[in-house]
Amino acid sequence: MSDEEPVRYTLDAIFNDVPIVVLWNDWPIVQRQTSGTQSNLLNPFVVEGDNVLRVLAGPVTELGSQFIGVGLFKWDPGSDVRQTIFQVEWTPRFGYTKDGYHEVARHVVHARKAFGRWRWEDAKPFRIEDEPTLKVEVLKLRDALKAKDIDGMMSRSRLKMAEMGRATGRHGGAVEGVQREMLRTMFDGGAHVFPWNEDDLRFRSGAQGRLVRVFLEDGSEPLSFMAGDNMVEVPLVYSHLDSGFELVR
């Protein structure tokens, strides 16, 4: 695949004093409990055909300055003009609940042509009995990081690198090269992994069970480490493919 800039789909969210979940094809793109802003590139999760965006507001126990704003945008290749696909603003005056989450907006985007079929689209649904097998894969990746085994880390991330390259218009080898150089620089600078116990691992599936996020009991990322004065967190999203569990995002 040659480097060719693709169309970009992006999502911006702003939220104040209310928990928020933004789902894209049943995958949590935004999941926050506190006020803030967040921007995301959606390309790695865009499928050919219908793509469903859902915005969920969390419980409101006391009326105040609660606010949610979500915008979905498209950027054509080579253009710096942002096209608005969908925008929504919500406050409790439009309706709220004191318990749980409720849907405040839904929008369907039909992508006639996207980025080809992602491997995770054909993944097996994640089951609770799969947890021990997935845990082994996560521990192998952590051990490679702790051993500063760049080849070992890349071999377990190759599918992710290839598909992220396709999503951003870069050759998979170029993406891997950037990752290798980043890891080499961090290791040379004395980067070290934060310790955790394997019993702290938690798993949450989405996209009809085809994508599985791995995180720690406190909500942090398992692959978190200090590189100089900077904390680096590496999200881990796996899919259960015919070859076993593979890191896909």
The DSSP annotation for 91-111 comes to -GGG---SSS-EEEEEEEEEE
Question: Residue 3's pLDDT is what?
Answer: 58
Closest CA to 168 of 23, 12, 46: 46
Domain contains 2: no
CA pair distance 204, 142, nearest whole angstrom: 19
CATH number of the domain that residue 183 is part of: 3.10.450
CA pair distance 46, 39, nearest whole angstrom: 16
Contact in structure between 167 and 115 (CB atoms under 8 Å): yes
Look at 3 and 196; give whichever has higher pLDDT. 196
What pTM did the predictor assign? 0.88
Cβ of 6: how many Cβ atoms within 10 Å?
A: 17
Question: What are the strands of the beta sheet with 244-247, ordered from one edge?
Answer: 201-206, 211-216, 236-241, 244-247
Range of the domain at 32: 8-111
- 243 and 163 in a single domain? The answer is yes
Tell which of 54, 82, 111 closes a domain.
Answer: 111
Tens digits of per-residue pLDDT, 58-103?
999 999 999 999 999 999 998 999 999 999 999 999 999 999 999 9
Tell which of 111, 134, 158 closes a domain.
Answer: 111
Domain contains 21: yes
**Residue with tokens 């599985």, as numbered in its chain:** 212
